[in-house]
């Protein structure tokens, strides 16, 4: 697919008085990507998404949607379904009634909404006719998705879409995002949940204290951590073979397999060596996954920053 930038953030700064929420942030989301902004509390995720949605004005830099610079009443915003605030519903009305009210309040006619598609993806089934006050948190979140989808958005902007949900509900929202993506939507979401970003996103940007710390495909970042989980038919022999490889720093037995720490992140060498030694390779995958990579990346960023701060601190 030729590149088709849907979101372009370029040199974005946002300060609130003394507080610097976003510092020199740049990234691009191409059509079809599921792009995750990953960072701890106060990293600047919500602020970045609010600027993109024209809800905050950048202090410096630009945000573009579909190639056009975002201004508060930007026409391009009509092509976006955004959930950057808690979705609110009228509790004593049904899910369906809430959808209709909300859509018609926007001045549009129900027959122009993609009600069928929205309901199919949100997966509320018969519950759509129940009062919203009987909904679980996860069902409310899915109703929120249905509402976004009425307008057939090309881009979904989701700020912490699984916040406050239990593990089962998180799984449902994750599946829902995957369904959306397979229907061709581009998704930009934020999260603190590393495992979630890892499972849902194709691309990830790690940010901390307003700054980009790392970005790339999820497998790039995971690969950067250099930890691989391997299952073979003979664990002990595999451990001996791998330990002798120059590219391997350490091999430990874990569960049914081995965790291999690489020096240079070349996973393919491991597979080739094991198979070449006549072992049967059952599983090979990055381990601890983004969690490890993320923590390492943040720690490295903090160390670098404190060195810079010391260097620039007035004597
Ligand atoms: N309207 C505002 N006025 C003052 N400071 C703000 C405002 N909005 C955000 N901030 C500050 O900007 C920084 C970034 O906040 P932001 O909400 O963007 O982070 P976040 O990554 O979304 O965090 P969280 O994971 O907690 O949602 C924080 O220090 C926050 O206190
Ligand atoms: Mg936030």
Cβ-contact 72, 241 below 8 angstroms: no
For ligand 1, atom 4, which residue shows the shortest CA distance?
Answer: 16
For ligand 1, atom 2, which residue shows the shortest CA distance?
Answer: 16
Beta carbon of 44 within 6 Å of any ligand 1 atom: yes
HSE, CB side, 13 Å, CA atoms: give it for residue 258: 26
For ligand 1, atom 10, which residue shows the shortest CA distance?
Answer: 21
Task: Report the percentage of the chain scoring pLDDT > 90.
Answer: 48
pLDDT, tens digit (0-9, with 9 covering 90-100), for 115-168: 999 998 888 999 999 999 999 988 999 999 999 999 999 999 999 998 888 888
User: Per-residue confidence at 37, pLDDT binned at 50, 70, 90?
Assistant: very high
Eight-class DSSP state of 23: E
Give CA–CA dist 53/65, Å, rounded. Answer: 9
**pLDDT at position 270, please?**
80
Res 315 pLDDT > 50: no
Res 274 pLDDT > 60: yes
Cα of 183 vs centre of ligand 2, distance in Å, is: 27
Q: Give the H/E segment covering residue 289.
A: helix 289-312
Q: Which atom of ligand 1 is nearest to the CA of 210?
A: 14
For the chain, domain boundaries:
5-221, 226-290
Give CA–CA dist 266/284, Å, rounded. Answer: 12
Same fold, 5-221 and 226-290: no
- pTM assigned to the model: 0.77
Beta carbon of 18 within 6 Å of any ligand 1 atom: no
Res 299 pLDDT > 60: yes
Q: Which atom of ligand 1 is nearest to the CA of 46?
A: 22
Beta carbon of 106 within 6 Å of any ligand 1 atom: no
For ligand 1, atom 13, which residue shows the shortest CA distance?
Answer: 21
CB under 8 Å to 314, separation ≥6 — which residues?
none
Reference 190, options 175, 206, 178; nearest CA is: 206
For ligand 1, atom 6, which residue shows the shortest CA distance?
Answer: 16
Which range is most confident: 27-36, 200-209, 224-233?
Answer: 27-36
User: Per-residue confidence at 298, pLDDT binned at 50, 70, 90?
Assistant: low
Q: Across the chain, what does the average pLDDT equal? A: 86
Q: Higher model confidence: residue 40 or residue 312? A: 40
Q: Does domain 5-221 have CATH number 3.40.50.300?
A: yes
Q: List, as ranges, residues with CB under 5 A of the ion ligand 2.
A: 45-46
For ligand 1, atom 28, which residue shows the shortest CA distance?
Answer: 42
- CATH architecture under which domain 226-290 falls: 2-Layer Sandwich (3.30)
Cα of 12 vs centre of ligand 1, distance in Å, is: 15
Beta carbon of 76 within 6 Å of any ligand 1 atom: no
Q: Higher model confidence: residue 188 or residue 207? A: 188
Pocket test for ligand 1, best of 25, 47, 164 (most atoms within 8 A of CB): 47
pLDDT, tens digit (0-9, with 9 covering 90-100), for 60-105: 999 999 999 998 888 999 999 999 877 789 999 999 999 999 999 9
Pairing of strands 80-83, 227-232: unpaired
The region of weakest confidence among 130-134, 256-260, 276-280, 298-302 is 298-302
């Amino acid at each position: 697919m030729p590149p088709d930038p849907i979101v372009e953030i370029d040199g974005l700064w946002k300060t609130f008085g003394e507080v610097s929420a976003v510092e020199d942030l740049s990234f691009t989301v191409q059509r079809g990507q599921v792009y995750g902004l990953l960072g701890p509390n106060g990293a600047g995720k919500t602020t970045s998404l609010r600027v993109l949605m024209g809800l905050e004005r950048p202090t410096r830099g630009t945000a573009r949607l579909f190639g056009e610079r975002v201004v508060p009443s930007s026409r391009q915003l009509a092509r976006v379904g955004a959930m950057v605030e808690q979705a609110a519903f009228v509790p004593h009305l049904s899910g369906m009634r809430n959808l209709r009210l909300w859509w018609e309040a926007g001045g549009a006619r129900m027959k122009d909404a993609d009600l069928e598609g929205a309901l199919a993806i949100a997966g509320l089934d018969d519950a759509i006719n129940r009062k919203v006050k009987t909904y679980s948190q996860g069902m409310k979140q899915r109703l929120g998705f249905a509402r976004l989808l009425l307008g057939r958005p090309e881009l979904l902007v989701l700020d912490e879409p699984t916040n406050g949900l239990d593990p089962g509900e998180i799984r449902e929202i994750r599946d829902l995002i995957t369904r959306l993506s397979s229907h061709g939507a581009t998704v930009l979401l934020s999260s603190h949940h590393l495992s979630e970003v890892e499972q849902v996103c194709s691309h990830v940007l790690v940010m901390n204290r307003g700054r980009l710390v790392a970005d790339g495909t999820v497998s790039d970042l995971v690969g950067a951590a250099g930890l691989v989980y391997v299952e073979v038919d003979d664990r002990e022999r595999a451990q001996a073979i791998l330990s002798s490889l120059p590219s391997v720093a350490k091999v430990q037995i874990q569960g049914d397999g081995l965790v291999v720490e690489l020096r240079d992140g070349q996973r393919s060498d491991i597979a080739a060596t094991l198979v070449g030694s006549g072992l049967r390779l059952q599983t090979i995958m990055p381990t601890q996954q983004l969690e490890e990579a993320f923590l390492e990346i943040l720690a490295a960023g903090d160390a670098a920053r404190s060195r810079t701060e010391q260097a620039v601190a007035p004597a």
